[in-house]
Amino acid sequence: MRKNFKSMLVVASCLTLSLGVTACSKSESDSSKASDEESTRVTLAGSNKNKKSAEEETTSAKEEDSKTDATKNDTDNTKTDTSEYFTERDLKQTVDTSEATSIELKSGENTTISEEGIYVITGDVTETSIIVDTTDDNAKVQLVLDGVTIKNTSTPAIYVKSADKVFVTTTDSENTLEVISEFTADGDTNTDAVIFSKDDLVLNGVGTLNLTSTDNGIAAKDDFKMTGGTLNITAEKDGIEVNDSIAICDGTVTIDSGKDALHCENDKDNTLGSIYISGGTFDITAGDDGIQGTTTLTIDGGTIDVKNSVEGLEATNIEINDGDISIYATDDGINASEKSTALDIEIVINGGNIDVEVGPGDTDAIDSNGSITVNGGTINITAQMSSFDYETTGVINGGTVTVNGEQVTEMPQSMMGGGIRGGMKGRGGRGQMPSGEDFSNSGDRPQMPEDGESGERPEMPDDTFKGKAGSET
């Protein structure tokens, strides 16, 4: 467990509420303006379902339906208005290239783009970098990859030095970018990714982008967004490494990484480093964490399959409102710890289908250095040692929670080994706290030998432990 038992500091800002939010759409007030872009938008599964007629329901069925609708409405109300994350241009998966500039890459020659515009790029080359370096801080550059293959030894295939925002858009084509050896720094800049950007970066389109790296797959020093296309990353370190924020609303993402699959952290400011997911399909195999944010990790939808990780999902403040999530972790499945001093440490689950399995040993399926609250959703946990572990409060207000095949309505709490902190990661071995526990019924505490004398082992009083063996609370 990655525990940091500092006191919690500033309360997190609430996420903007909205009704009937779509995965990659603007708010309802803007929907009429974007009617011609409906094909690029994805509606969250499960929203806007038709209700049964009241006349067709029995009294008991009406009551049950009312409960279901209330739960659904609560879930919808917690979802974020995605317009604060994605612009209309972010969401466009195809580009009008009638006035675009066409560039055919050549091996051994870098291509530098210094002006705002749309650039259609083709070519199968080696030792070539596409460099974006504009003098206009407001410049927006769109790189349209149309069947591009770049294989470099030590430099990024795409290197954004200066721009306001860069779009990497795939046509209906296969594009492959690869760096096969150790990266070479550009002066003081450690260019450690196949796509390396000092400014905002957006991935979209209708094609496929394959990245292979001896370091990171993608590195963005500001914000990173993905709204469409297929992205496949094989990286020896992080798959996607971002400083300020990650926001993904659609697309198909497959990552096999030596470290974290998605990692968002600004080492100079721990109030940054958020991750927002409202759609898309993720297939993750990670040598460390599946998805790690510093501040918030908010999931409003999507299909996330973390096939292998040390910790599946991790951030200071985690909120799951919807989505299909499957996690296998060798440590914690879902972990909230103090990575940011600007937020409460908590896990809140309002909806979604969540399946968490953790390996043997000192592991927790769902672990928070603060609180855990389950308001809805379906949670299925497979854990040999601990299903839930929390420092302050743990409550189940709604939803369906199953632990090792048995449904629970009160949240179990992990038990410290012998009630003593210590050992690995500051904690002893642990198991689930038995129900009906009673540690103090039996008389005096056993006396230890004085002055460190070895002596005989002290005898435990009769009936010291009256818990039910193997039971969980």
Query: Are 299 and 323 in contact, with CB atoms under 8 Å apart?
Result: yes
Q: Using DSSP bridges, classify how beta strands 140-152 and 165-170 pair: parallel, antiparallel or unpaired.
A: parallel
Query: Are 143 and 119 in contact, with CB atoms under 8 Å apart?
Result: yes
Using CA atoms, how far residue 396 sits from 347, 349, 389, 402, 446, in Å, is: 12, 9, 13, 12, 38
Could you tell me the residue range of the domain that residue 121 belongs to? 88-408
Q: Residue 254: which residues within 8 A CB-CB, separation 6 or more?
A: 231, 232, 233, 282, 283, 284
Per-residue model confidence (pLDDT) at position 23: 58
Per-residue model confidence (pLDDT) at position 255: 99
Residue 322, pLDDT > 80, answer yes
Establish if 378 belongs to a structural domain: yes
Establish if 196 belongs to a structural domain: yes
Which residues does residue 209 pair with via DSSP β-bridges, in sequence order?
175, 231
What letter represents residue 416's amino acid? Answer: M
Q: Residue 15: which residues within 8 A CB-CB, separation 6 or more?
A: 78, 80, 296, 298, 319
Distance CA(313)–CA(298), nearest Å, equals 10
- What are the strands of the beta sheet with 386-390, ordered from one edge? 111-113, 130-133, 158-162, 193-197, 216-220, 240-242, 262-264, 289-293, 311-315, 334-336, 364-368, 386-390
pLDDT tens-digit map of 51-69 = 333 344 434 444 444 444 4
Which residues does residue 348 pair with via DSSP β-bridges, in sequence order?
319, 373
Q: What are phi and psi for residue 56, nearest 5 degrees? A: -90, -5
Looking at residues 412-432, what average pLDDT do you find? 41
Residue 210, pLDDT > 90, answer yes
Per-residue model confidence (pLDDT) at position 414: 77
Establish if 301 belongs to a structural domain: yes
* Burial readout 166-176 (b: 16 or more C-beta within 10 A, e: otherwise): bbbbbbebebb
Query: Are 390 and 412 in contact, with CB atoms under 8 Å apart?
Result: no
Looking at residues 348-366, what average pLDDT do you find? 97
pLDDT tens-digit map of 92-101 = 999 999 999 9
Establish if 225 belongs to a structural domain: yes
Q: Report the predicted TM-score, pTM, of the whole model to 2 decimal places.
A: 0.76
Q: How confident is the model at residue 131 (pLDDT cuts 50, 70, 90)?
A: very high
Residue 421, pLDDT > 60, answer no
Establish if 122 belongs to a structural domain: yes
Per-residue model confidence (pLDDT) at position 318: 98
Q: What are phi and psi for residue 258, nearest 5 degrees? A: -75, -25
Per-residue model confidence (pLDDT) at position 24: 75
Q: How confident is the model at residue 431 (pLDDT cuts 50, 70, 90)?
A: very low
pLDDT tens-digit map of 7-53 = 433 333 333 334 334 457 543 334 333 433 333 332 223 333 333 33
Share of the chain above pLDDT 90, in %: 69
Instruction: Specify the range with the lowest mean pLDDT, choosing from 94-103, 158-167, 420-429, 437-446.
Output: 420-429
Per-residue model confidence (pLDDT) at position 78: 63
Instruction: Specify the range with the lowest mean pLDDT, choosing from 64-68, 150-154, 177-181, 263-267.
Output: 64-68
Establish if 322 belongs to a structural domain: yes
Q: What are phi and psi for residue 218, nearest 5 degrees? A: -125, 135
Establish if 21 belongs to a structural domain: no
Q: Domain total for the chain?
A: 1
